[in-house]
Every structure is written in C-alpha cells, then in structure tokens.
Structure 1
Amino acid sequence: MAIKQLRTLFASQYQPGQPARVRPGEALTEPGGDYEALHKQMKRLFNSKPGKKYGRFSDDIGDSPFSSWLKDYLEDKQSFTSLTDRLFGQWQELLNGAQEEFEGHLMIVHEALADSEVVYLLILENDSAMRFDAKQTLDATDILSLSRLNLAARIELDDWRGDNPGENYLTLVHARGTGEGGDLFIKLCGFTNQVDVEKETVTFLDAVEAFAKTSEPEEAGKVRARAYEFCKEQHALGEPVAIEALSGYLDENQPERFKEFASQAAELPESGVLHPDHRKVKKLVRIAGSGGGMSVSFSSDLVNQAVYYDKDKDALTITRLPKALREQLQRYLENRD
C-alpha cells in the first residue's frame, strides 16, 4: 500500500445556523509511517462494514461537483491542494446550513495499489480518553477512534476512468444514526445508488440453492458451504462476488458449470458481478430464528442428522445436544426439583 496524497480537515458545527468551524491540514505527499497505519485500519473497518451501498457519481455536477474536481486533478489540470481546497470549502458550506450538531475529521486519500488506484473520503470520529499530564493532573482528551467508521466512500479510479466505465465504481458506507451529517456526506461525494443489494442477495441465494439441489445431499451441503466461504472472503476484501470466479471456486474440475447454470436459472446483471449482503448469505450454512422467549441456531448440515422437523406437528426434535447445553438443562431441572 502506498499513499500518494493525503489531507485532512477538522470540521465542527455546534450551533446550527452559525458558520461551521474548520481547521484544514497541509496536503501531504507520500506521508508514510503513522498515516499508512491509520489508513490501513480505516480500510479494514471499511471492508468489514456490513450494508455498504454501490453506485456511481451523480450526473448533476452543479449540485455535486466533486467528480469534476477529481477529474481535473487526475488529468493534472489542478493540484491536489486545489482539489482539497474546493472539497473542504463545499463541506463547510454544507455544514453551515446543517440543523444538527456535527464534529469530525474529513480525510481524503489517493492511494496507489499494485494494479489499481483508488480515492477514499473518510469521516474519522473521536473517542474520549483520560490521561495524567506532566503535573500528574487527570486530564480528559480526545483521540481518533480506531473502531468506528460510519461515513466513508471509495472510488475505484480505473473502473471510473477506463474506456468502458462501470456503473458501480463508487462504494459508500452510510451507517444508521448518522443523521443529517450522513445525508450531507452523500451530497458531498455525489453518490447515486445503482445496485439493489437486497435483490442481488436474493438472486445469489436462489442461484446457489438451485445449483446445490442438482447434487446429492452431502455434496449439496459442500456447495452451500463453499459459496458462503467465497462470499465471506470477498466481503473481508471489500469486493463483490464475481460469478465466474465463484463458479471456478465451487467446481475446480468444471469451472464453468455454476456460471452456465446460474445464467439460465437467475437474472444476472450484465457485469456478471453480484453484491450480496454477507449477513444474509449466512442462511446457506445456518438456520436460525428467535421469538416467544426462544432463540435457535444450528448448521443446516444437521437437518435430518441431529435436528428433525415435523411439519405436521410444527415440532423440532434435537438430538446430540451440545455438552454445555445439556449440563445447563440438567442443573436447571435439579434446582427446580
């Protein structure tokens, strides 16, 4: 990983209706060291964040001009300093009109990878910490949070600026509870949603389930497990699921088999890429439910092996209980008696 350019801005809006306070930092070229470590941690949080949205830049440049500024920077029509001056100025203007309080560091990073280049926009939050100062007096201070990332965007420059621009080169982290600040951040990025993650999750699950049913029961379980493993690995990398790559992963001897099956059994996007929600994909390997004071979860491989469901009686019979559960039940019955 190599950071080509990086710059930060601290912005706060404590009195809605009043101008936001900003403190920009210097533009840093190849800052290295601690900045690389900080960005690496933010990337880890970004990749692991569930519920990401995928899309592209809005065509309304007048309302969201960041894409045009970024284009000028990449074409050497303006410097990184000029780009960030404009970006920070717009962020301040957006916060000036905010009706809710806001505080955070806006960090923009231009990163060169081995085979591609990306730009990140990240809102870094603060945590409160206590320390003793030089006079051994207890003092409260703010430090950067290394465990939270609720607003962020990643632009895949090659996908955006290539000969055939994709439709999903912009990935957005927009967590619940970010309120007005989150909406303003989306406007700053110029993000417009192009991917229906829920629909693509259903497409992914249906295709894998239908494919698994073409195999013997034992093999079907392995197909589901491998599909889930692949999806989980892609999520950890912050990457979507390419059907062709998944097909080769599911069957190394016949790497095209799942791809051909899925193209006939499901309505796949032209890109051949899906963005399933990895949390819901877990249904491939686990069956779970809760309600009425009960919570049950078990591997789908145990159905008709150690877990039996009687549809007529709506009853679940579990054998081979886990040791810890069996001991808890025994103690509870003994104490009650």
Structure 2
Amino acid sequence: MAIRQLRLMRAALPGGGQAAKVTAGQPMAEPGGDYEGLHRQLKKLFNSRPGKAYGRFSDDVGNHPIRGWLGNYLDGQQSFEAFTDQLLDQWQEEVTRADTDPERPLLIVHESLADGEVLYLFALEMDAVFTLDTTLELTPTETISRSRLNLAARVELEDWRGEQGSENYLTVLQGRGTGEIGKCFARLVGFQQEVDVEAETRTFLEAVESFAQQQTEPEHAQSVRHKAFEFCNEQEALGEPVPLSALSSYIDDSQPERFAEHVAESQAVEPDRVLHPDRRKVRKLVRIAGKGNGLSLSFSSDLVNQAVHYDRDRDALIITQVPRSLKEQLQSYLDDASD
C-alpha cells in the first residue's frame, strides 16, 4: 500500500446564520508513518461495516461537481490541493445550507495498490478526552476514534475510468443516526445508487439454500452454507463483492463450476455475475435467531436436531446441553423464586 496524496480538512458552523468556517491542512505526498497506520485502521473499519451502498457518480454535475473535479485532478489539469480545496468549499456550502454542524473532520486519501488506484473520503469520528498539563490541570481535547466510522466513501478509480466502464465503482457508508449531516455527505460525493443490495442478498440466499438442499447428506448441506458464509466474510474484510465463479470454486474445489451452473439454472443469474449481499442477512445461513413475546434466541444452525429440537405439533422448542452460564442463571432465579 502506498499513499500518493493525503489531506485533512475541517468545517465548523459558528451558528447565528453565519457560513461554516473551514480549515485545511497541507496536502502530503507519501506521508507514511502514523498516517499509513490511521488509513489502514479506517479502511478496516470501512470494509467491516455492513449496510454499505454501491453505485456511481450522479449525472447531475451541476449539483454534484465532484466527478468533474476528480477527473481534472487525475488528468493532471489541477493539483490535489486544488481538487480538495474545491471539495472543502462544496462541503462548506452543504453544511451551511443545511444549518448543521459537521463536527467530523474530512480525510481524503489517494492510494495506489497493486491492483489499481483508489480514492477514499472519510468523515472522522472524534472522541472528547482530557489530558493533564504540567501543573496537573485538566485540559479538554479531541482524539480520532479508531473504532467508529459512520460516513465514508471509496472510489475505484480504474473501474470508473477504465474501458469497461463499471457502474459500481463508488461505495458509500452512511451509518444510522447520521441524519442531516449524512445527507450532506451523500450530496458531497454525488452518490447515485445502482445496486439493489436487498434484491442481490435475496438472490444469493436463495441460490445457496437451493443448492444446499440438493445435497444428499445433511452435513454436506451445512458445509455449503458455512462455506458460503465464510467466503462472504472474507470478501467483506477485503472490501470486495462476491463473484459467483469464485464462490463456486470455494464451495466445491473438486467441481468448481457446479454451484455457478446451478445458480444459472435456478436463478437465471450468469455465472460471472458479481453480487453484493448484506453480511448481516447472510448470517442466516449459519445461525437461527428470533425474538418476540419477551424471548430472544440465537443459535448455530448446526445444533438443530442435535442440541435443539423443534416439535411442530406442540410448537415447542426443546433445548438440551444448556450453556453453563444460562443454567446458573436459571437455577439462581428458581431458587430465589422458591424462597
């Protein structure tokens, strides 16, 4: 990994109808050191966060000009500093118009990888902390959170500018609770969603489940589900979607095309298709969970008909091999109730 350019910027809303005030650090070429470490941690958070949206830049360049600015920078028509200055000005306009305090500094990183170049835009989460000065007086300050990330975007530059013309080169993370500032961020990056994640998740789950049910042995069916889940997790950690052909090889390396052919027949999905399933829902392949009426249960699907038995006639769930911690709580509760 090599950071070609990096810059930190911030906008703050003073209130009273005034325009947001902006502060920008100097662009840094190949900063290395701590900046590399921070970028790695933020990328890891970005990749692991579920609920990301996939698409491209809006065609409405007038309201979302980032597309033109970034293209000019990549073509060498303007510097990284000029490009990020334009972004900061746009950010200032967005938060001033929305009359909302952005709070989060922006970190823009142009990164070169072995398989291509990527541009990241992170809205950093800040934590309030106190330090002690030399006279042991408390001094409030802020630190960058390395465990929280709610607003971020990634542009696969070669997918966007390449001959193939991919329509899913822009990935946006907009966490719950970001409210108006989240909308400002989406407008800043000019995001236009192209992937129906819910539909692709449904297609993925149906394909895996129908293939699993074709297996002659229950353990083979469970192996299919587990391998599909593992592959999704690995792809999520890399920040990559799920190519059906690669998944097919992972599920059965002795017959690497078998799953892909099944999906083509049962779901009318091409074997070379790439899907973006929601990892939170893919978990259903290996875990069974539900809650209601004061009850919440979650257990591995491997335990069905082993430690967990469902009696359909009585609509009863029978659990054997009760976990020790749960058993202790039950015994303590029953002892207290009898007293």
Give the shorter-chain TM-score range. over 0.9
Is the partner of 2:105 in helix, strand or coil? strand
Q: How does 1:185-196 map to 2 (within 5 A)?
A: 185-196=185-196
Equivalent position of 1:60 in the other structure: 60
CA contact (8 A) 2:212 2:221 kept: yes
Cα shift readout 1:50-71 (whole Å, capped 9, x = no counterpart):
1000000111111111111111
Stretches of structure 1 that go unaligned for 5 or more consecutive residues are: none
Q: How does 1:136-285 map to 2 (within 5 A)?
A: 136-215=136-215, 216-268=217-269, 272-285=273-286
Is the partner of 1:107 in helix, strand or coil? strand
Cα gap change, 1:120 to 1:330, in 2 (>3 Å):
same
Cα shift readout 1:183-214 (whole Å, capped 9, x = no counterpart):
11111101100111111111111000000001
Instruction: Identify which range, 64-73 or 295-304, moves more after superposition.
Output: 295-304
Same amino acid, percent of matched pairs: 57
CA deviation after TM superposition for structure 1 residue 158, in Å:
1.2
Where in structure 1 do 4 or more consecutive aligned residues deviate above 4 Å?
A: none
CA deviation after TM superposition for structure 1 residue 167, in Å:
1.1
Instruction: Identify which range, 60-69 or 91-100, moves more after superposition.
Output: 91-100
Matched letter for residue 161 of structure 1 = R
Equivalent position of 2:303 in the other structure: 302
CA contact (8 A) 1:16 1:101 kept: no
Superposition TM-score, scaled by structure 1 size: 0.96
CA deviation after TM superposition for structure 1 residue 324, in Å:
2.9
CA contact (8 A) 1:7 1:108 kept: yes
Is the partner of 1:187 in helix, strand or coil? helix
Number of residue pairs matched by the alignment: 337
Matched letter for residue 297 of structure 2 = V
Is the partner of 2:225 in helix, strand or coil? helix
Paired with 2:251 and 2:76, the residues of 1 have a C-alpha distance of 45
CA deviation after TM superposition for structure 1 residue 82, in Å:
1.4
CA contact (8 A) 2:11 2:92 kept: yes
CA deviation after TM superposition for structure 1 residue 274, in Å:
0.7
Is the partner of 2:51 in helix, strand or coil? coil
CA-based RMSD: 1.5
Equivalent position of 1:6 in the other structure: 6
CA contact (8 A) 2:53 2:173 kept: yes
Equivalent position of 1:323 in the other structure: 324
Q: State whether structure 2 residue 2 is matched by structure 1 residue 31.
A: no
Q: How does 1:283-298 map to 2 (within 5 A)?
A: 283-298=284-299
